[in-house]
Amino acid sequence: MAHGPPVSQSPKVNQDVDEDIAMAAPSLKIRRLAGALGAEITGLDLAQELPDATIAAVRQALVEHQVVVFRDQDLTPAQQARFGARFGPLNIHPYVAGMADHPEVMEVIKEPQDKVNFGGGWHSDMSFLERPAIGSILYAVEVPAFGGDTLFASQAAAYEALSPGLRATLETLSAVHSASREYSAGGHSAQKRSSMAIAEADGLAGEYVHPVVLTHPESGRKALYVNPAFTIRIEGWTKRESKALLDFLFAHARYEAFTCRFEWRKGSVAFWDNRSVWHFALNDYPGQRRHMRRVTVDPWPVTAAARRSRVAETVT
């Protein structure tokens, strides 16, 4: 018996796009990981300075598959930052300290004695900012003997599985996001641990409004853009009203058929698109160490010319 909502195969995920990518960058091979999202890219050494065509192909694969993974990489923090910076300016996390000599590289560490992990709940990175990160690139330095996988959920597939009626309603709504719950005292991310220096939000986190349905600026594909960690209410609705809708969306959005699961090995890299993907770091390896490094890619700054053309579009 089938459980859960139907999953439509997106017309955007198709063989032609992967063939276009293969033509642009012949060394690069793409193998899909699951029905809704995810692909493994082979044939690339991310430590090298890659040609523009290869970077464009990786970007196209990311937009297409929403999360792309690489195996057997060997990256210094500087090489990881250089690769990430090809996709946009790198974010300096407002609460989590970066490396002393690379503030844009964040170490995600769980020591054997730590009880909580970082990222151990469904979320989309940095949706609590005015201009949220477009992607995150995580590199495995040390992995536990078992456990510590990361789950990903396609919010595009989640959106597409809703009825036309609810999709149309959601498109009229915006939601308020804030770091306050997660990074305030007692919040999951701010909990004390021996491994990471994380500041408390201290009531200063700020609130930012984003559409509930985000149209991907590169693919035009629509996706749900609310998440349990950072979305605190629907704009203009009470907390009680918001909770009813958000609880439904949060339960729907993590239906198994929208997900894929990545089992890390030392040297693995995952690059996910925060505009259409949730992720969840599993905390199922007590007593073991897990050490990752993350760079987070911000959107390019909006240029004055782009701003002018947007205004022109609105007024014509």
Nearer to ligand SIN, 13 or 260 (CB): 260
Within positions 28 to 47, which residues make up the interface with ligand SIN, using CB under 6 A? none
**How far is residue 271's CA from residue 64's CA, in Å, rounded to a whole number?**
12
Instruction: Give 68's strand partners.
Output: 39, 271
Catalytic residue among 59, 279, 290, 293: 279
> Is residue 3 annotated as part of the catalytic site, yes or no?
no
Map residues 106-145 to x or -, x wherever contact with ligand SIN holds by CB under 6 A.
Answer: --x---------xx-----x----------x-x-------
Q: What is the largest CA-CA distance in the chain?
A: 61
93 lines the binding site for ligand SIN (CB under 6 A) = no
Nearer to ligand SIN, 50 or 98 (CB): 98
Catalytic residue among 18, 59, 82, 125: 125
Residue carrying structure tokens 């749900």: 224
> Is residue 93 annotated as part of the catalytic site, yes or no?
no
Nearer to ligand SIN, 54 or 135 (CB): 135
Nearer to ligand SIN, 67 or 245 (CB): 67
Nearer to ligand SIN, 160 or 182 (CB): 182
Residue 106 CB, nearest distance to ligand SIN (Å)? 8
Residue 121 CB, nearest distance to ligand SIN (Å)? 9
Residue 146 CB, nearest distance to ligand SIN (Å)? 15
Residues 192-221, buried b or exposed e (16+ Cβ, 10 A)?
Answer: ebebbebebbeeebeebebbbbbebeebeb
Size of site (CB under 6 A) for ligand SIN: 11
Determine which residue in the list 294, 295, 297, 298 makes contact with ligand SIN, applying CB under 6 A: 294
> Is residue 279 annotated as part of the catalytic site, yes or no?
yes
292 lines the binding site for ligand SIN (CB under 6 A) = yes
Catalytic residue among 123, 181, 233, 290: 123
> Is residue 177 annotated as part of the catalytic site, yes or no?
no
Q: Which residue is nearest to ligand SIN (CB)?
A: 119
Residue 27 CB, nearest distance to ligand SIN (Å)? 27
Residue 292 CB, nearest distance to ligand SIN (Å)? 5
Task: Centre a 10 Å sphere on the Cβ of residue 143 and count the other Cβ atoms it contains.
Answer: 21
Q: Report how far apart, in Å, the C-alpha atoms of 119 and of each of 190, 225, 241, 282, 283 are.
A: 11, 17, 27, 8, 9
**How far is residue 272's CA from residue 68's CA, in Å, rounded to a whole number?**
6
281 lines the binding site for ligand SIN (CB under 6 A) = yes
Residue 307 CB, nearest distance to ligand SIN (Å)? 31
Going 203 to 197 to 190 to 158, the CA torsion angle's sign is positive
**How far is residue 290's CA from residue 76's CA, in Å, rounded to a whole number?**
17
- Tokens (6 digits) for 147: 């456990």
Residue 216 CB, nearest distance to ligand SIN (Å)? 20
Binding residues vs ligand SIN (CB under 6 A): 108, 118-119, 125, 136, 138, 150, 279, 281, 292, 294
Write out the catalytic residue numbers: 123, 125, 279, 294
